[in-house]
Amino acid sequence: MLDPTVEADVFVLDPVATTAAQTTELRSRGRRLICQVYVGSVHPDDPDAGRYPGPVRGTTSSRTSRTWLDVRRWETLRPVLADRFRLCRGKGFGAVLLADADGYDHGSGFPLTFDDQLEFNRRVAALARSLSLSPGLLGALAQVAALAPNFDFAVNEECVRLKRCAKLLPFADANKPVFHVEYTGSTTDFCVTSVGYGFASIRKNRTLDAWRQPCPPPP
């Protein structure tokens, strides 16, 4: 459950579950709001799930119950994504975080290539900008080097534990924020590593409740 009193500068929130009243309160506290949108997949509980026709639906993940989409079908996907972004903007979000932007690497059920995904991700970033939203990239580490010029920030989970933080340096080197989280249950002392890379890092519970433990800033 959202706790607006948490002393965090940036909140990453679901645009459907979060109300306009909540975003208004957060903005009154000076918080920056990022709207997380699944651009490469659809869940049966999504309010707009019926707008994705059968031909653009691929395999379904047994872990998340999300169905991968054929990102080559831009003319079909664009109107749905544009409306999702308008929902974010209407609720007062200033940025959008692209989730599941790496279907080509996950057995989507379509013969997607690296370049297919790259073109789609760039198009979605441009769409966000056209709607006055700052685009951010979640994960998709294999494409970070190519996509960093198109995005304003990155969000990453567990790059220290997985030894992948160096892949995010194109953002840090361009003075673009990298928001990074490691989860409880790991004994990894990650702050020295992640702060050394210039990331804004915290530890959280995997349940993504309000608790957070930020890394100290560099001296």
- Average pLDDT in the chain: 94
pLDDT of residue 75: 98
3-class secondary-structure state, position 216? coil
pLDDT of residue 219: 60
pLDDT of residue 188: 63
- The CA-based angle 9-11-15, given to 5 degrees, is 155
Average pLDDT of the residues in 96-113: 96
Could you tell me if 62 and 96 are in contact, meaning their C-beta atoms sit under 8 angstroms apart? no
Could you tell me if 140 and 154 are in contact, meaning their C-beta atoms sit under 8 angstroms apart? no
pLDDT of residue 192: 87
pLDDT of residue 7: 87
Residue percentage of the chain with pLDDT more than 70: 97
pLDDT of residue 97: 98
**Of the candidates 215, 87, 100, 84, the residue with the CA atom closest to the CA atom of residue 155:** 100
Sorting pLDDT into bands at 50, 70 and 90, what band is 186? low
Round to whole Å and give the CA distance between 70 and 179: 28
> Which residues on neighbouring strands pair with residue 10, listed in sequence order?
32
Exposure letters 111-133 (e unless 16+ CB within 10 A, then b): ebeeebbbebbbbbbebbbeeeb
Average pLDDT of the residues in 103-113: 96
pLDDT of residue 65: 96
DSSP for 10-52, written as a single string:
EEEE-TTTS-HHHHHHHHHTT-EEEEEEESSEE-TTSTTGGGS
Sorting pLDDT into bands at 50, 70 and 90, what band is 218? low
Q: What is the pLDDT of residues 21-79, one digit of tens each?
A: 999 999 999 999 999 999 999 999 999 999 999 999 999 999 999 999 999 999 999 99
- CATH 3.20.20.70 in the chain is located at 1-151
Sorting pLDDT into bands at 50, 70 and 90, what band is 4? confident
Region of 63 please: left (phi>0), alpha (psi -120 to 50) or beta: alpha
How long is the chain?
A: 219
Sorting pLDDT into bands at 50, 70 and 90, what band is 2? confident
pLDDT of residue 89: 97
Q: What is the pLDDT of residues 136-146, one digit of tens each?
A: 999 999 999 99
Quote the CATH superfamily of domain 1-151: Aldolase class I (3.20.20.70)
Tell whether the model's pLDDT for residue 3 goes beyond 90: no
3-class secondary-structure state, position 91? coil
Average pLDDT of the residues in 90-111: 96
Could you tell me if 166 and 189 are in contact, meaning their C-beta atoms sit under 8 angstroms apart? no
Residue percentage of the chain with pLDDT more than 90: 82
